[in-house]
Structure 1
Amino acid sequence: MTEFVLVPGLFTGSHVWRETAARLEGEGVRAHPVDLPGLRSGDGADLEADIARVVATIDAIDAAADGGVPEIVLVGHDYGVHPAVGAADRRPGRVARIVYVDTAPVGDGVPALATVPDQELRERLAAAGDADGVLPPPARDAWRRWGSTAGVSDAALDRLTALAAPQPLGTLLRPLRLSGAELPPTTGVLCAESGATLATLRMLLSFGDPMLKALARPEVTFFELPTGHWPMLSCAGRLAEVLLAAAAGGGQSLVDTADGSAAEDPATAGYLKPFLLDVTERPRERRGTLDLYVPEDAARTPRPAIVFVHGGPVPEGAEPTPRDWPTLIGYARYAADQGVVGVTLDHRLHAVTAYPTAAADIEAAVAEVRADPRVDADRIALWFLSGSGPLTAPWLGARPAWLRCLAASYPIMAPLPGWGVNDARFRPAEVVARGGTPPFVLVRVGREASAVAATVAEFLAAAEAGGAPVEVVDVPDAPHAFEGLDHTDSARDAVREAMRRVLRRLTARR
Structure 2
Amino acid sequence: MTVFIMVAGVFTGAHVWQRTTERLVATGSEAHAVPLTGVDAGRPAGSAPVDLETHIADVIEAIDAVDTTSGRDLVLVGHDYGIHPVLGAADRRPQRVSRVVYLDCGMPQNGVPALAAVPDQTLRARLAEVAGREAAEGELAPPTRDGWQRWGSTADVSDAVLDRLTALAAPQPLGTLTQPLRLTGAAAAAPTTGVLCTLNGVGVDLVQQLVDLGDPGLAALADPRVTFFELPTGHWPMLSRPAELADVLLRAAAGEGRRLRPRRAEAPPAPPRPFPLDVPELPRDRKGHVDLYVPDAEGPRPAVVFVHGGPVPAGVRPTPRDWPTLIGYARFAAAEGVVGATLDHRLHDVADYERAAADVTAAVELVRADPRVDADRVALWFLSGGGLLAAPWLTRPPAWLRCLAASYPILAPLPNWGMTDSRFHPVGALAHAGPLPVVLLRAGRETPEIAATVEAFVTAAEDHGARLELVDVPNGHHGFETLDAPEETRPALRHAMRSVVTHLTG
TM range (shorter): over 0.9
**CA RMSD in angstroms, aligned pairs only:** 2.2
Letter in 2 for 1:397: T
Corresponding residue of 2:179 = 174
Corresponding residue of 2:484 = 486
Return the alpha-carbon distance in structure 1 between the equivalents of residues 340 and 432 of structure 2: 31
Return the alpha-carbon distance in structure 2 between the equivalents of residues 232 and 332 of structure 1: 47
Corresponding residue of 1:7 = 7
Corresponding residue of 1:417 = 415
Corresponding residue of 2:70 = 68
Cα deviation, 1:72-111, whole Å, max 9, x if unaligned, reads 1000001111111111122230111110001111222221
Q: CA deviation at 1:440?
A: 1.0
Query: Structure 2 residue aligned with 1:303, among 286, 301, 314?
Result: 301
Displaced runs of 4 or more, over 3 A: 40-43, 265-269
Return the alpha-carbon distance in structure 2 between the equivalents of residues 435 and 359 of structure 1: 18
Query: Structure 2 residue aligned with 1:158, among 153, 158, 163?
Result: 163
Return the alpha-carbon distance in structure 2 between the equivalents of residues 181 and 148 of structure 1: 33
Return the alpha-carbon distance in structure 2 between the equivalents of residues 180 and 310 of structure 1: 36
Aligned pairs for 1:101-116 within 5 A = 101-116=103-118
CA pair 440-478 structure 1, distance change in 2 beyond 3 A: same
Q: CA deviation at 1:437?
A: 5.3
Report the TM-score when normalising by structure 1.
0.93
Q: CA deviation at 1:287?
A: 2.1
Verify the 8 A CA contact 1:399 1:437 in the aligned structure 2. no
Query: Structure 2 residue aligned with 1:439, among 437, 440, 454?
Result: 437
Return the alpha-carbon distance in structure 1 between the equivalents of residues 103 and 476 of structure 2: 30
Q: Secondary structure at the match of 1:291?
A: strand
CA pair 266-482 structure 1, distance change in 2 beyond 3 A: farther
Return the alpha-carbon distance in structure 2 between the equivalents of residues 382 and 95 of structure 1: 52
Corresponding residue of 2:52 = 47
Corresponding residue of 2:86 = 84
Verify the 8 A CA contact 2:411 2:427 in the aligned structure 1. yes
Corresponding residue of 2:426 = 428
Query: Structure 1 residue aligned with 2:452, among 451, 454, 459?
Result: 454
Verify the 8 A CA contact 1:223 1:251 in the aligned structure 2. yes
Aligned pairs for 1:6-45 within 5 A = 6-40=6-40, 41=44, 44-45=49-50
Verify the 8 A CA contact 1:435 1:467 in the aligned structure 2. no
CA pair 268-123 structure 1, distance change in 2 beyond 3 A: farther
Letter in 1 for 2:244: R
Verify the 8 A CA contact 1:207 1:319 in the aligned structure 2. no
Report the TM-score when normalising by structure 2.
0.93
Verify the 8 A CA contact 2:219 2:262 in the aligned structure 1. no
Return the alpha-carbon distance in structure 2 between the equivalents of residues 68 and 266 of structure 1: 48
Structure 2, unmatched stretches of 5+, are none
Corresponding residue of 2:493 = 495
Q: Secondary structure at the match of 2:65?
A: helix
Return the alpha-carbon distance in structure 2 between the equivalents of residues 474 and 144 of structure 1: 32
Cα deviation, 1:1-26, whole Å, max 9, x if unaligned, reads 21000111111111211111111112
Verify the 8 A CA contact 1:118 1:420 in the aligned structure 2. yes
Task: Give aligned-pair identity as a percent.
Answer: 61
Q: CA deviation at 1:255?
A: 1.9
Query: Structure 2 residue aligned with 1:136, among 125, 137, 141?
Result: 141
| 1:405 and 2:403 matched | yes
Q: CA deviation at 1:247?
A: 1.1
Verify the 8 A CA contact 2:397 2:433 in the aligned structure 1. no
Return the alpha-carbon distance in structure 1 between the equivalents of residues 408 and 124 of structure 2: 30
Cα deviation, 1:28-65, whole Å, max 9, x if unaligned, reads 11111111113143693111221111111111112xx6
Letter in 1 for 2:230: E
Corresponding residue of 1:370 = 368
| 1:201 and 2:207 matched | yes
CA pair 161-423 structure 1, distance change in 2 beyond 3 A: closer
Return the alpha-carbon distance in structure 2 between the equivalents of residues 267 and 245 of structure 1: 34
Verify the 8 A CA contact 1:216 1:253 in the aligned structure 2. yes
Corresponding residue of 1:121 = 123
